[in-house]
Structure 1
Amino acid sequence: MRSSNPSLGKDTFYGLQAERGKMMTIQGTANKTFILFLLLCTTALFTWYQYFSGNNIQPLLWIGFLGGFVVALITIFVKKVAPYTAPLYALLEGLAIGGISAVFETQFAGITTQAILLTLGTLFSLLFAYRSGLINVTAKFRLGIVAATGAIFFVYIVDFILRFFGMGVPFIHETGIVGILISVVIVIVAALNLVLDFDFIEKGVEQRAPKYMEWYSAFGLMVTLVWLYLEMLRLISKIRSDK
């Protein structure tokens, strides 16, 4: 059992035992995910308002990015604190997401609404496809998505390092046909990670994982959703810039 989501690795549920009547459920995980989504939206709207009010949001972006990264690491390595760190992660990540969204919105009016609708549409479409059996998570399917996700993050890391030297990985930031196609592929891989997350959470329920793993699993889904949303923003901006 394996997911390419770093917070939902193959050993996530290993050795965990739930007390009687305090086991992880699908409905409980869905409820926690909804709570985290609301928390993220709350701080995202706060940063959004600050930006369009003419205030400097750079400190908020740094707090969101760095704070969210640190809290995510703590959550991954100490799963039992997820009921406390997962909401904190959502609040911090919202600060960063709101600022990024506002910057894109000033360049491309309406892009935030488009990205949100596409992200939520993808989430519910893939959830329906998974629950109805239209998508079967086989070992080959899982391995392919894990490999593709790893390759994408490797390229992003290389690009981040190269930018310190005034360079970058060709095409991934460009708005031409090749750049758009690259973003389409990345969006597809990010979306398919949701399917792996659904499957992994279901396996956790089958293994009778403890109740706090609902928060941890909701956190894992939010990690994927944030990535998917950011890639949607990038893709839409490339398409609209290319017109």
Structure 2
Amino acid sequence: MNSLTTAKGGIQTGAYPSGAPQGYQDPYSGYGRAPAATGDRPMTVDDIVAKTGMTLGVIVVFALLNFGIYMFVNPGLALILTVVGAIGGLITVLVATFGKKYGSAAVTLIYAAFEGLFVGGISLLFTGITFEGVNADAGVMIGQAVLGTLGVFLGMLFVYKTGAVKVTPKFNRILTGAIVGVLVLVVGNLLLAMFTGMNPLRDGGMLAIVFSLVCIGLAAMSFLSDFDAADKMIRAGAPSKMAWGVALGLAVTLVWLYTEILRLLSYFRSN
């Protein structure tokens, strides 16, 4: 979000009404309140709520579609679509990031479709439906994961609004470094599993449980960064189409959080 601004000469009304700290350069200073500066009206909270709602709606629809394909069509096809969803979602995020398509409705909704396929399939895998048949625990686990995800989201929104945790450039740097560290560990664990069969970070043991808790914590902290970036963009008068980019960022974090919570619940169920 911090690298979006390309417009020049906007009127900055940003997050520091009493004056910016010395040496601070607001990354949203290119956005002005006047629609003429961007060719679009300024973004509002309603825009973010509406676009995020549509994005999550698409994710839910495609998740149910993949679940239905498994139940009534072909389980093998559902697993293939899960892999396609994972790869397609990753590629779409990379396109949005490096292709400067952050505010594109099409990119965000395509991502939502891919992630829906992934979420539907991964829910089947983590709850044991694919390999063990449908069981009563599966629906309970999925419901718990959904409620847990919503609970963390609302909790972090409350934390952000009350200012209990301040989102600063240092906070974002530390969070980014931690997420990159987790990514390196995941890739290393994947390579270890491929070549040795050992899977310490995802085998359901104590280390795997601790690692999932760390991932859940980082996903929760990511919400604070998402909220802060959206808040600053609104204050800076970013064009309304950028709400699609905010929705994309929130959807990525929500999907990550949901999968980690569901994975953690699957560990306890297996144990």
TM interval, short-chain normalised: 0.7 to 0.9
The reply to whether residue 13 of structure 1 matches residue 32 of structure 2 is no
Q: Determine the C-alpha separation between the residues in 1 that align with 2:210 and 2:88.
A: 32
The code of the aligned residue for 1:82 comes to S
For 1:153, the equivalent position in structure 2 comes to 183
Q: Give a deviation string over 1:116-148, Cα, whole Å, max 9, x none.
A: 110011111111221122222134433322221
3-state secondary structure, aligned to 1:165: helix
Q: Determine the C-alpha separation between the residues in 2 that align with 1:200 and 1:41.
A: 25
Q: Determine the C-alpha separation between the residues in 1 that align with 2:92 and 2:173.
A: 28
Q: Determine the C-alpha separation between the residues in 2 that align with 1:36 and 1:101.
A: 19
List 4+ stretches of structure 1 deviating above 6 A: none
Q: Give a deviation string over 1:128-170, Cα, whole Å, max 9, x none.
A: 221122222134433322221111011112222333323446x
The code of the aligned residue for 1:11 comes to S
Q: Determine the C-alpha separation between the residues in 1 that align with 2:101 and 2:73.
A: 39
For 1:228, the equivalent position in structure 2 comes to 257
Q: Determine the C-alpha separation between the residues in 2 that align with 1:213 and 1:177.
A: 41
Q: Give a deviation string over 1:198-234, Cα, whole Å, max 9, x none.
A: 0111111122212211001110111111111111111
For 2:115, the equivalent position in structure 1 comes to 93
For 2:223, the equivalent position in structure 1 comes to 194
Retained in 2: the 8 A contact 1:63–1:92? yes
Q: Determine the C-alpha separation between the residues in 2 that align with 1:164 and 1:104.
A: 20
Q: 1:240 to 1:62 in 2, by over 3 A?
A: closer
**Percent identity (aligned):** 31
The code of the aligned residue for 2:3 comes to D
3-state secondary structure, aligned to 2:195: coil
Tell me how large the CA RMSD over aligned residues is.
2.0
Aligned length: 233
Match of 2:83 among 40, 56, 62: 62
TM-score of the superposed pair, with normalisation by structure 2: 0.79
The reply to whether residue 123 of structure 1 matches residue 115 of structure 2 is no
Q: Which runs of 5 or more structure 2 residues have no equivalent in the other structure?
A: 8-29
3-state secondary structure, aligned to 1:135: coil
User: Structure with the greater relative contact order (CA < 8 A, sep ≥ 6): 1 or 2?
Assistant: 1
TM-score of the superposed pair, with normalisation by structure 1: 0.87
Match of 2:106 among 56, 78, 84: 84
Q: 1:183 to 1:81 in 2, by over 3 A?
A: closer
Q: Which has the larger radius of gyration?
A: 2
Q: Determine the C-alpha separation between the residues in 1 that align with 2:165 and 2:6.
A: 25
Q: Determine the C-alpha separation between the residues in 1 that align with 2:31 and 2:172.
A: 26
